[in-house]
Amino acid sequence: MKKEYSIFEIKKYLDKKEFIVKKKIKIQESGLNNLSRTFLSSLIIISFFFIAPLAINLSKEKMIFSKDYENNSIKLDRMKLFSILNKSKNTKTEQVWLNMKFNQYGVVDKDLSTLKIRMDEVPVSMAIAQAAKETGWGTSRFAQEGNALFGQWTWSGEGIKPTDAEDDSTHKVMRFKVLQASVKAYQRNLNTHSSYKDFRSARAELRDEGKKLDSMILTEYLDKYAETGKEYVKILQQIIRQNNLKDFDDAKLLPSSKDLESLI
């Protein structure tokens, strides 16, 4: 049975870990000397993968659980997919759903095995570590001005120009209206982009072997996420270890009101 934590318990835990990290650990060349941890960012990431997706109203500084997104979690989608795969014949409704998911996960040839590999979770500990690294624990301009938790680039559309970018550079960091959109874009990036094919294969192998999705193993395949390659991987693993982020991989947030209980 999964452990259950209240929001206050998680915040207390993070505050305690922040104090210990500040006191005992000096992180080399990682830009994480001041661990001004953003509880909100971590909470959003955890909630996205384990409850219904969140819509964030930053102006009121509170979280809103939307019932419109209740069935859009990857876990529920994956359960539905396996239910369909176990049938000899699918209904028209199921076929429509499959076509929608083929499009969502960029499976152009409508191959079910490819969809099964792509439609899967990202370990919470890995997502938090990447968000921490990409935003300087939530202090970066991209996070504060554009809700950008994962430093994804764009060459079209709205974005934020990096101050240290070369004059002839055309890329920007993607801007999002809410944090939830940033998390969804990150999930789609890892689950569809060709650069992370090895990541998805390693994840599928863990599934086939009946093992948990281990962030320390899967981060090995994120060397293409940043220009620093293997050094980037080492930093992510360092963040996960030093902050015991794997404790959150099986966490389930308790609702703060009776209105939210049906969403968990």
Instruction: Identify the pLDDT of residue 161.
Output: 67
For residues 50 and 3, the answer to whether their CB atoms sit within 8 Å is no
Specify the DSSP class assigned to residue 88: S
For 25, phi then psi, to 5°, come to: -120, 135
Among candidate residues 143, 152, 151, 155, the one with its CA nearest the CA of residue 179: 143
Among candidate residues 230, 180, 146, the one with its CA nearest the CA of residue 48: 180
Instruction: Identify the pLDDT of residue 39.
Output: 47
For 93, phi then psi, to 5°, come to: -60, -40
Each domain of the chain, given as residue ranges in start order, spans: 4-263
CATH architecture, domain defined by 4-263 = Orthogonal Bundle (1.10)
Given a cut of 70, the residues of the chain with pLDDT beneath it are: 1-72, 153-155, 157, 159-171, 252-264
For 65, phi then psi, to 5°, come to: -90, 125
The residue ranges of DSSP E strands in the chain, in sequence order, are 4-5, 54-57, 62-65, 153-154, 159-160, 172-174, 252-253
